[in-house]
Amino acid sequence: MDKKCVVIFLTGDTASTYNGKPLMLQDALFCPVLNWCMRAWMEKGVGRFFVVCEDKDLADAAACFPEGAVAASGTLDTYEQDLEEFAHGCWIEEVREALLPVGSMMLSFHSAEELVRLQRAVREDIAAYHQRTGVNILDPETTYIDPRVTIGAGTTILPGTILRGNTVIGLDCEIGPNAMVTDCVVGNGSVINASQTYESVLGEGVHVGPYAHIRPKCRVGDGCKIGAYVEIKNASFGPGTKLSHLTYVGDADIGSGVNFGCGTITSNYDGFRKHRTVIGDGAFIGCNTNLVPPVTVGAGAYIAAGTTVTRDVEADALAVGRVRQENKPGWARRRRELEQDGEKKS
């Protein structure tokens, strides 16, 4: 590492920003500018940073420190004393204006409006970088990729895709069109079609969408399908489990090879607290099933369509929880005749 300590003074001019934060704490493609700069300097061999800012900005500044950096922050009143101890005899380089790395250069800017104009250039830089590493981005003009995102070779990014945070996309995936992926790990060969996924881990060969919503703290096993109008949250799914459409599963532990019929939900909230549903391997959950936790469905069990499950179901059992059907011959004809007679009298 270079024997240099970069001291960054966050500009106090917040009049030209929309949220009262210094320019270096504004986002460019979902990532604070300060983080952009620190990572750019680290690529050039600098590994020690000291950020000078107001008390109210200390936490936001610290959140920008990249992994592997030696960084600290302090206020204008105390930084000279703190810096002497922190720099350890390094050569000090001071940065007193807002900068954003564009290509191989650090460009200064003086307002949020200027930053917006610079974002176009860095968006093109990011797209070009991924294209050089084997990623197929069909339309860079409609694709937005956070600089912290990693994408494997052979992956195709379709128009309207937004990749944010510390997302990692594997090899040979297809993301989009119109997909939002935030802070997720996506395994090789997976597809996310017109859906939103947040803070979750998807295995290999997973198919998501269209119009699915994966909320935080989900783990989706290899070969799973999270289909059309499916929402999952804080749930784990074993390999090969399928939720093809119109299903909500929250706060649940689901085994492998489970099939969910459409219209199935876990009623995980009782108005006061959340409860978990547990479903064993190979279970079959019929359409329009309500699972009222805490409840466990054993491996290989079969839940009949239209059932409300309020008690545990043992392995390989059939659970039926609905009113028995009764057919009344001629009832519909007689009702129509009564309606017709009423219309004639009126």
CA torsion 142-146-149-153 (nearest 10°) is: 30
pLDDT recorded at residue 15:
64
125, 40 Cβ separation under 8 angstroms? no
pLDDT, position 11 = 72
- 106-157, pLDDT tens digit by residue? 999 988 889 999 998 999 999 999 999 999 999 999 999 999 999 999 999 9
- Among residues 130, 207, 213, 245, which one is catalytic? 245
The one-letter amino acid at 17: T
Residue 346 has pLDDT above 90, yes or no: no
Q: Can you tell me the mean pLDDT for 83-95?
A: 84
Q: Are 167 and 186 in contact (CB under 8 A)?
A: yes
Cβ atoms 71, 41 nearer than 8 A: no
Q: Residue 74's Cα: distance from chain center in Å?
A: 32
Q: Is the pTM of this model over 0.85?
A: yes
Q: How far apart are CA 238 and CA 259, in angstroms?
A: 11
- Run of H or E including 285: strand 284-285
Measured distance CA(115)–CA(166) in Å, rounded: 22
CA distances from 298 to 281, 310, 314 (A): 8, 14, 5
How many angstroms separate the first and last alpha carbons of the chain?
95
159-185 pLDDT, tens per residue? 999 999 999 999 999 999 999 999 999
C-alpha distance from residue 214 to each of 112, 200, 254 (Å):
33, 8, 15
Q: Which amino acid is at 133?
A: T
pLDDT tens column, 193-242: 999 999 999 999 999 999 999 999 999 999 999 999 999 999 999 999 99
Q: Which residue has the tokens 């359409």?
A: 287
Q: Which helix (H) or strand (E) holds 331?
A: helix 331-345
pLDDT above 90 for 75: no
Residue with tokens 């597809």: 191
Cβ–Cβ under 8 Å, residues 319 and 308: no
Half-sphere exposure of 160 (CA within 13 A, CB side): 9
Per-residue pLDDT, 284: 98
* Catalytic residue check, 245: yes
pLDDT (tens digit per residue) in 315-334: 999 999 988 889 999 999 99
Strand ranges for 65-204 from DSSP E: 70-74, 91-95, 99-102, 105-108, 136-137, 144-145, 150-151, 156-157, 162-164, 168-169, 174-175, 180-182, 185-186, 191-192, 196-198, 201-202
Mean pLDDT to the nearest integer, 98-106: 91
Output the pLDDT for position 18.
77
Q: What is the mean pLDDT of the chain?
A: 93
pLDDT of the residue at 81: 78
